[in-house]
Each structure stands twice: as structure tokens, then as C-alpha cells.
Chain A
Amino acid sequence: MREKGFRWSFIAWNSRCLFVLLSLFGWSTSVLAQDYIGKRLESLSQNEIPELIQVKDLAASEQWLPRTEVVPNLGLSNDVKWLRLKVDPRIENGQLIEIQNAGIDELICYMVCDGEIIATYERGVFHETPVDSRIGTYPSFPIPLVECGELQALFRLQSSKPLLIPLRITGPREVLRGAHERDVLFAAYFGVILVMLLYNLFLFLSIGDRSYLEYSIYILMVGGTQLVLNGYAPVFGAESIPWLNLRLTHFFGVFSGLTTIVFAQNFLRLSHYVPWLHKLLNVYFALYLVAFILTIFDLLVWSYSVINFCAGAIFFLIPGAVITMRKGYAPARYFLIAFSVFIAAVVVFVLKDTGLIPYNQWTFFALPLGSAFEVILLSLALASRINQLKREGAKAREEQLELAQVNEKIVRDQNVVLEERVKKRTFELEETNSTMQGTLNELQSAQQQLIQSEKLASIGQLTAGIAHELNNPINFVSSSAQSLRRDFEDLNAIVEAVKTLPASDPNLESRIQDIHTLLGQLDIEFTQQEIEELLNGIEDGANRTSEIVRGLRIFSRMDGDNFIQADINELMNSTLVVLRSNLRTQSQVTADLAADLPQFSCQPGRLNQVFMNIITNAAQATESTDLSLEEREVVVSTLRVESIGQSWIEVRIKDNGLGMDDAVKAQIFDPFFTTKPVGEGTGLGLSIVMGILRDHNAEVDVQSEVGLGTEFIIRFPI
């Protein structure tokens, strides 16, 4: 429906345009009736006349050939042409000669009166035409006739364009009127062109479709061509550049041809619908470029010929448009109409030049008229093309939508399947997860048990050591106390004996003798020495017991997973105390603890576990060597170091035991790794140690060499 409506409105609009234009022409018909007097002219070519002949002598020459056309066509060449017009002074005095061809490059008119040149008029591109000699804006070379007995006008003509001579003799009023009419008509034409140009430019700017820009350029070129052909170029100041002014016709011919080709190719989509024509037009395109180059290099006549030849290209556009239309491309119809009109106009224009149809204002105006129609119709064609493209776009979108819907359905169906699969997999995963969670829980509880058993193992080890360490002093202290009592009783006996010794006794001698006997019996010197020894033992025992208890108190802060300030040396000493009895049978343990170490934040209980583990390992490592007890060494040292911009407390535990190779060294902190026989050691000791040290942000370095020993270097940041 919409398309039909569009078509009707198009026809209506079209006919309205036609009506306006027709009435315009109807109005001008009366004044456009021309009275060219080509048949009164005589012509002569430059090569037909002797060199160095005077103009006035030429006027009297017998070689002039009379012309038979109303509008003589002197052809297209570089040659200079001569024309002679005999004026009847009785009728034509005071009138003007008018040649209505703007394309004459040079025209010199000699007025010969009775064999003498009485006036010379120079016109054309190479001559400054006095502005006041113009009538209207149309450069129609009006030449005034003078009074004379036998007046001849000799015209020396030269042009790079076809020399058509629409010449008439008429009064100034008529010249003026004709010029005005032309101006009006061309103004209307240029108005149409300008409107279409602006309209399409505006469309290009708002829609952004490149074809509108191409069309705008096309319109500009077509309008420009008409402008130049009809001599309106000077209006735009072309005369100020003679070189350009001379070639403007050629340039516009070339560019309008080029833009026509490009526009037609793109509009009709020739590369798609009619590839051969597309290629052919490319050839024409190249020919136009040749014409352009010829123009640049001053081969203007050749250039004009090429342009003329190329103009034939538009005839191919008709079959091209027909084929395209047949192939279902609707906009081609408008294109066909537009170009048919234009071609008809061109045909009329060309026929007029060849003299097959009369050269008059009608035929003269055929070209701009056809061109105006063409421009308007093509604009409509372009709109139709844009619509077509839109429809195609919409159709494509619809297809895409349909496709998308189909895709969506497929995706939906697949989604359902996928969802089910995902659900199934999720369920399986959940099941696996719960199984794994169970296993994990079991593992964690097993790990807890292992850590617990490792703790218990170390506690057991510890208890044995401590028990032995405590029982020894307790043993000799308690035993010594009893012995001491007996020794004391012995001494008491003597003291009693001495006490009961009277101050004056006649038997004093014998009593003293008795006491000495008693002293001998009791071996009192031995007893005294023994008492000394027992007291030493008790003292030592008491000291050792209290030392152990103190160490134990420090050591037994195992409950505390809290970080508190503690002295590393105190921790180390307590560890060594509780380990002493165990270590004594294994190795010579020496401690080299730096004084004045600051307290640092740590978990003392857990650190004791660390030191106990490493020191015990070290002692065991020395025990496994062939070294004697005196040669086996474990050295524990603490010191303060400054490294990488920080203070550290460094603990070194060095032994001269078996040492480890790199493979073992790499695994010592792995859980369950042990070098001990099965059943002795859980393999968790150092793994727990590592965990504790990590909690303290400590750095651990282990250096070991087989046969030489191992050194643990632990650094705590402070």
C-alpha cells in the first residue's frame, strides 16, 4: 500500500513539475523564436588562404564558400576559421550582430567598410571583454553595426570546442530581451540544481548515506557543466583565470562524466546485477581520466573528442537499468526514466549541433531542461533506492529475528537437557562431596589423633626424663637424710658422753679414755667426712630439684597457645634441663647463649616443643655415629642478628651426627616422613615444628652434610 501511495504521489508531483516547466516555456516561446542567418554567411579555412594576406584583401577574396545551414557548424579543430557576412546597410543599420555561442575561445570581428577596416572587436577567453559591452550576464558577443556603403563583417574564429555559429542580426532590445530570458531560464534551472544539491547534501548529512553525497557531487557537476556550456562561468569570476576558463568546459565534461559513472555504478549496483557493464564503465572512467590528462597538457581538441566519445557511455545505462530492473531491483525504474529523459535531451542537443534538427532556443534548452528533469527524477530514484535498502534491511532483520528465534528455541531445548544434566551432576557431586566431607572429617580426626599421639609421645619421653632427673636427687636426699640421722645419733652419743663428763672427776682420765674408745668405735673421722659428703649431696639435690621444677614450670606452659613476652635463653635452658637425663647418655650438649637478648613475643610452650624435638633429633643423630660419647656434640646457641633491615633472634642447633643427603633434607618437614624404624616415631615431629615456627613467622634454614652433621638455623623476627 505504502509503495503504491508513494508512486501516485510521485506521479502527481512529477506532473506538477512538468506543468510548471511547460508553462515557463510556453511563456518564453514567443521570444524564443529565432531568426539565425547562417545561410548568409561565407566561410574560409586558414589553410585555404595565402599567408601574410591582409584582412582587407581577404575581404575581397574570391575563395569564400557560402554556408548552407541556418546555424553553420565549422567543426572541431585547432584551425582558425574565417566567416564573412555582408550586411545590408539600408535595413540593418543601427542593429547588432549577435553570436549566441559562449564556447568560442577567440573571436575577432573586423568591420570592413568599402575595402577599409573601420573597426575591430576582440572577444573570447583571451581577451578582456569590456564589461559594459556585455548585455546581460549572457556573453553573446553583441557587435554593433556601423553605417557604411558596403559593410562586410569578417570573423576570425578559433576554439577548442565545436564552432557552432548561431548568428543573428537584431535590435538591441531583442538582444537584451533574449539575454534576460536566458538568464531567467537558467536561473530557474540553477535554482532547481541548487535546491536539489542542498537537499541531497542535507540528506547526506542527516542520514549519512554515502550515495547522497555522490549524488550531490553529480548534481554539482551536471549543473556546473551547464553553467560553463552556457557561458555563465564569468559570472563566477572564471575570467580572472584564463587558463582555467579556457578548460572549464573540458574539466566539467570530465568530472560530470566521472561522477555519472560512479553514481550509476553504485545506484544500479552494477557490480552485482550487470558486471560486464560495470567493467565497461570502468573503461569509460579510464578514458575520462585520459581526457583529463589531455586537458592538462593542452590537447584540448583531442580531449573534447574523447569527452564526446565517452558521452556515449550513457547509452549503455539504459540497457543496464533495464537488466537491473528485470532482476527485481525496483529503484532501477526511476533511474531508467530519469536517464531516458536526459538522453532524449542529449540526443536533441546533439542533433541540433549536427543540423539534423533546427538550432533554436527549444533545442538549445533541451539539455538543461532534460538535465533538470533528470536531477529531480534521480533524486526520487535515490529516495526509492534508500527505501529499497531499508526494506531489504528490515527483511534481513526479520530473517535474523526468525533465525534468532529458532536459535533461541534450540538453545532453550538444549538448556533443558543441560539443566537436567547439571542437576544430575550436581546431585552426584553433592553425594561425592558429602562422602569426601566424611573422609575429610575422618582424616582430620586422624590427624588430630596423630598430633595428639605425637604430643603424648613427647610428653612420655619428657616424663621419663624428668622422672629420672627428679628421682635421682630425691633418692639421695631422702636416703642421705636417714643416714645423716644415724650419723647424728653417733655424734650425739659422743656429745652425751662429753656432756655427762663431770667438771671434776677423779676418774676423768678413764672417762676420757672411754670417750676416745667410743670415738674409735664409731670411726668418728669417717662419720664427719660422711656428714660433709651427705650434706653436700643434700644441698646439691635440693638445688637440682628446684632447678628442675623451675625448668618444668617454664616448660610446662604448654597450655599457653597465647603469645607472651618470653626470654629465649630461659626457654632453651628449661628445655635442656628436662632433656638432660636423656641427652646425657647420648651426646655432649653445650649451650652458648648470648647475654642481653630481648624478650620477644612467642608461645613458650610450643617453642619448647620445637627445641625439644630438634635437640632430641640432634642427640639421636650423634648417637647413631661411631663416635664415642665424648666426641658426640650438640651445640645450642642463641644470638641476635641484623639482616635485611630487621632484627632477629637466631637459634642454632648444630650436631656432628650422621647428617642428611639432599633427598632426605627435602622431606624432613613432610608429615609422616621418618628415618626411624617402623614404630619408633610418628614422622610428625618436624612437621609440627614447622607449623609452630610458621605461626611465629620464623625463618628456618637447614644445613646438612652426610657424615658431618646437621645445623638448624631458626630466626625469629623481633
Chain B
Amino acid sequence: MINVLYLDDESHNLTAFRAAFRRDFQVHVTTEPTEAVRILREQPIEVIISDQKMPSLSGVEFFELIMPDNPDPIRMLLTGHADIDAVIDAINKGQIYKYISKPWNEAELKSLVEEAAALYHQRKVMAREGQQLITKMDEARVLARRIQQLTAEGSPATPEIRSEIAALANQIDRLLQS
């Protein structure tokens, strides 16, 4: 199940959210930003939803606050009304994925959360795959070095084979460098 964290100063919203999505997601809700930070540390949160207008700090400020330690979870901002300044701030500072206005459409919100979670996982997969690729490339690079060394030290191979292997090694190098 997708782990969703929802931060809002309005407890009724939290209740409604949990009631709506508890069947689909693992829902974590809180009215306190400090509590939210604790949950983030302890739970594998994939999607964070925050209300923009809160007494102690705004949603964008909250995102800014948690980003250094939790860059991965997908962030979504929930607001009572469209405030252009908040939108600009959210994009520039909070790097949010989606901007949702109240009252939310349950189905829409659900799919958005799923999309976000999918994105989260996709990013995770991509990151993992990328890592694997880099590892493989490193191995290839080591191999290419080896071939170069072998061809350089006057091996018994014919000069034709030698030059062919060198060309292949260069090719691998070029590929790795790109």
C-alpha cells in the first residue's frame, strides 16, 4: 500500500482524508509539522500532502524544511483557494508535483496520489537501474583497460588482431564517457 502523509491544521480534514483513503493507502495524518517530520523519519512515506495555510508555517515552508532530508517523497500542495504567490513559491521553492485545491475530488485525488506514488517508484527504479548501469559500465571500463594493456605489451597476437582490439577498447571508452 502506498504510504501517504497528510499535514493540515484542520483536524476534520484529516479525519475525512483518512476515512476516504484508508482502504486504498497507508494513511498518516497530523496537524503538527514536527509530528510530520517524525513520521517522515519513521515511515517509508512516498507521497506528502500539505495544506498551504497553517498558523505556524505554510505548506511551502514545510516542504522547504523537509527537502534536504527527504528529497524523494512526491510533494503535493493543498489549498483553500488559488493564491498565485503560493503557487509561484510552491513551484520555485517547494518543487511540488501537483497543486490541489479544496474541496478535493476524491477520485481525482486518489489517482493523483497513485500517480505520485507511481512516479516515486519509477524514480526509485530508474535510480536503481541507472546505478546498475553505472556499475556495469565501470566493469566494462576495467575490461577495456585490461584489453588495452594486453594489446600494448607485445602479445603474440597478430598486429591486425591487436589493432582491432584496441579499436574496440576505444569504442568502449567512448561509450562509457558519454
A residues touching B (Cβ–Cβ < 8 Å)?
463-464, 467-476, 478-480, 482-484, 486-487, 530, 533-534, 536-537, 540-541, 581, 584-585, 629
- Is B10 in contact with chain A by the CB < 8 A criterion? yes
- Nearest CB of A to B107, in Å: 9
Mostly helix, strand, loop or mixed at chain A's interface?
helix
Question: How many residue-residue contacts, CB under 8 A, span A and B?
Answer: 81
Is the CB–CB distance between B103 and A585 below 8 Å? no
Is the CB–CB distance between B16 and A479 below 8 Å? yes
Q: Which A residues lie within 8 Å of B17 (CB)? A: 479
- Is B23 in contact with chain A by the CB < 8 A criterion? yes
Is the CB–CB distance between A480 and B12 below 8 Å? yes
Is the CB–CB distance between A534 and B81 below 8 Å? no
Mind listing 12 A-B residue pairs with CB under 8 Å? Answer: A467-B80, A478-B103, A479-B16, A479-B17, A479-B106, A480-B19, A483-B16, A484-B19, A487-B19, A540-B12, A581-B80, A585-B55
B20 in complex: contacting residue of A483, A541, A585, CB < 8 Å: A483
- Nearest CB of B to A582, in Å: 9
- Is B102 in contact with chain A by the CB < 8 A criterion? yes
A468-B80, A585-B54 known; A473 vs B19 contact (CB < 8 Å) = no
A530 in complex: contacting residue of B19, B56, B101, CB < 8 Å: B19
Is the CB–CB distance between B103 and A537 below 8 Å? no
- Is B53 in contact with chain A by the CB < 8 A criterion? yes
- Is B135 in contact with chain A by the CB < 8 A criterion? no
**A584→B58 CA distance, assembly (Å):** 12
Is the CB–CB distance between B15 and A476 below 8 Å? yes
**A581→B58 CA distance, assembly (Å):** 13
What's the tally of chain B residues with a CB closer than 8 Å to chain A?
Answer: 24
Is the CB–CB distance between B16 and A534 below 8 Å? yes
Q: Name which residue of chain A comes closest to B23, CB basis.
A: A486
- Nearest CB of A to B103, in Å: 4
A486-B23, A629-B56 known; A475 vs B13 contact (CB < 8 Å) = yes
A464-B83, A469-B80, A482-B106 known; A475 vs B16 contact (CB < 8 Å) = yes
**A470→B101 CA distance, assembly (Å):** 12
Q: Name which residue of chain A comes closest to B14, CB basis.
A: A476
**A463→B20 CA distance, assembly (Å):** 29
Is the CB–CB distance between B102 and A537 below 8 Å? no
Q: Which B residues lie within 8 Å of A536 (CB)? A: 12
Is the CB–CB distance between A471 and B80 below 8 Å? yes
- Nearest CB of B to A293, in Å: 116
A471 in complex: contacting residue of B16, B20, B58, B81, CB < 8 Å: B81
**A536→B19 CA distance, assembly (Å):** 13
**A166→B80 CA distance, assembly (Å):** 149
Q: Which A residues lie within 8 Å of B55 (CB)? A: 584-585, 629
A471-B103, A479-B104 known; A541 vs B12 contact (CB < 8 Å) = yes
Q: Which B residues lie within 8 Å of A484 (CB)? A: 19
Is the CB–CB distance between B13 and A467 below 8 Å? no
Q: Name which residue of chain A comes closest to B19, CB basis.
A: A483
A464-B81, A467-B81 known; A474 vs B102 contact (CB < 8 Å) = yes
- Nearest CB of B to A571, in Å: 25
- Nearest CB of A to B45, in Å: 21
A474-B102, A475-B103, A629-B55 known; A537 vs B16 contact (CB < 8 Å) = yes
Is the CB–CB distance between A474 and B20 below 8 Å? no
Contact string, B98-133, partner A, CB cutoff 8 A, digits 1/0? 000111101000000000000000000000000000
- Nearest CB of B to A11, in Å: 122
Q: Name which residue of chain B comes closest to A472, CB basis.
A: B10
Q: Which B residues lie within 8 Å of A581 (CB)? A: 53, 80
**A471→B19 CA distance, assembly (Å):** 18
**A585→B55 CA distance, assembly (Å):** 4
Q: Which B residues lie within 8 Å of A486 (CB)? A: 19-20, 23
Q: Name which residue of chain A comes closest to B18, CB basis.
A: A530
Q: Which B residues lie within 8 Å of A541 (CB)? A: 12
Q: Which B residues lie within 8 Å of A534 (CB)? A: 15-16, 19
Q: Which B residues lie within 8 Å of A474 (CB)? A: 102-103
A480 in complex: contacting residue of B16, B58, B80, B101, CB < 8 Å: B16
Is the CB–CB distance between B104 and A475 below 8 Å? yes
- Nearest CB of A to B104, in Å: 6
**A541→B55 CA distance, assembly (Å):** 19
- Nearest CB of B to A449, in Å: 22
- CB neighbors of A among B7-35 (8 A): 10, 12-13, 15-20, 23
**A585→B51 CA distance, assembly (Å):** 13
Contact string, B49-89, partner A, CB cutoff 8 A, digits 1/0? 00001111010000000000000000000011101000000
